[in-house]
Structure 1
């Protein structure tokens, strides 16, 4: 579970964003701007990120606040799972990234797997939709839904991408150092569960 201060900061940000979008009264707009500033101050006090960066990353959206969507490709070969090494932290993750406007989840996962690993795949099955805050990731300013899609290799070859420095397949009992910001060991175990039990229903929350 995420820390309470982070939950409060995100709730304040959501309230402020909605208020700034729909309110017309000038005094209410000032109040919602103050609420947004408080949410930024909370994050600034509990992280090493300065306020301007937090404002740019966390408090710059408009409209009704909704979760961001992170889409990950689950690809197996010879009972090993495809993973890519992230340039940012040196940890290994499942290929994937933020959902793109104009693309469906299956289109995003095909694109991301190609860009990060070099393999051409087709999306086969949705295996999980998880709320990031209920899993052992580091604290994040965003409320994130993680979508895991089982894919099948149809071509290509292992090739690192702009954001990745290595590509490899790993057995369940021989996993590398994981990029916990993006993926957790329990989520990889969940992926293997769907490999061993194809009739397993979609996992959610």
Structure 2
């Protein structure tokens, strides 16, 4: 897997040359902890998710990526928000510079067991308090804040 660098509200960020729809799942356990994975490429804790493939819906993408990255099977339980901030770009070593395009669904575990994938170094349910002191990208923190303050209306940004 190639390395990546996230730029967020950085005037020195490279110009985006790519836009790909992606989906993530925010999955909460019975204790209110959020399913997170520690990314192998950046070391940051993040929600499971990835890029939509031809032939699948965006919600199917969130389900597939969660299974691939965490070992857990989920069903879609709602929509946290749509995140398309042009000030968040991700540069890859192959020259692709992608503008953020992520839809974050709420997911509910239906089966499976936690397994670490080749994309991550750890997968676990973490409390919001635990996450405060861990490396988490600002855009993921924003999603966690929206989850904490969720009032039934998805974030549209």
TM-score range, shorter chain: 0.7 to 0.9
Equivalence for 2:4: none
For the residue of structure 2 that corresponds to 1:103, the secondary structure is coil
Mapped contact 2:90–2:99 kept (Cα < 8 A): no
Q: CA deviation at 1:106?
A: 1.1
Report what 2:37 is aligned to.
Answer: 84
> Using the alignment, how far apart are the partners of 2:55 and 2:104 within structure 1?
19
Higher helix share: 1
CA contact 1:132–1:146 (8 Å) conserved in 2: no
SS at match of 1:177: coil
Shift of 1:165: 1.6
Q: 1:2 to 1:91 in 2, by over 3 A?
A: closer
Aligned position for 1:202: 154
Q: Is 2:81 aligned against 1:123? A: no
- Which of 108, 116, 125 is the aligned partner of 1:160? 116
Match of 1:32? none
For structure 2, which runs of at least 5 residues remain unmatched after alignment?
A: 1-7, 92-96
Larger RCO (CA under 8 A, 6+ residues apart): 2
| Cα distance change of structure 1 residues 150 and 2 upon mapping to structure 2, 3 Å threshold | same
Deviation at 1:99, TM superposition (A): 1.4
Correspondent of 2:145 among 166, 182, 189: 189
Secondary structure of 1:132 counterpart: coil
The answer to whether the 8 Å contact 2:13/2:89 transfers is no
Where does structure 1 lack aligned partners over 5 or more consecutive residues?
11-57, 59-65
TM-score by length of 1: 0.62
Relative to total residues, which structure has the larger strand share, 1 or 2?
Answer: 2
- Map 1:83-102 to 2 at 5 A: 83-102=36-55
Partner of 2:61: 108
Partner secondary structure for residue 97 of structure 1:
strand
Moved over 6 A (4+): none
Answer whether contact 1:83 1:170 (CA < 8 A) is retained: yes
Distance 1:89 1:139, change over 3 A: closer
- Structure 2 distance, partners of 1:203, 1:70, is 16
Q: How far 1:174 sits from its partner (Å)?
A: 1.4
Pair member with larger Rg:
1
Q: Normalized against structure 2, the TM-score is what?
A: 0.79
Instruction: Count residues with an aligned counterpart.
Output: 142
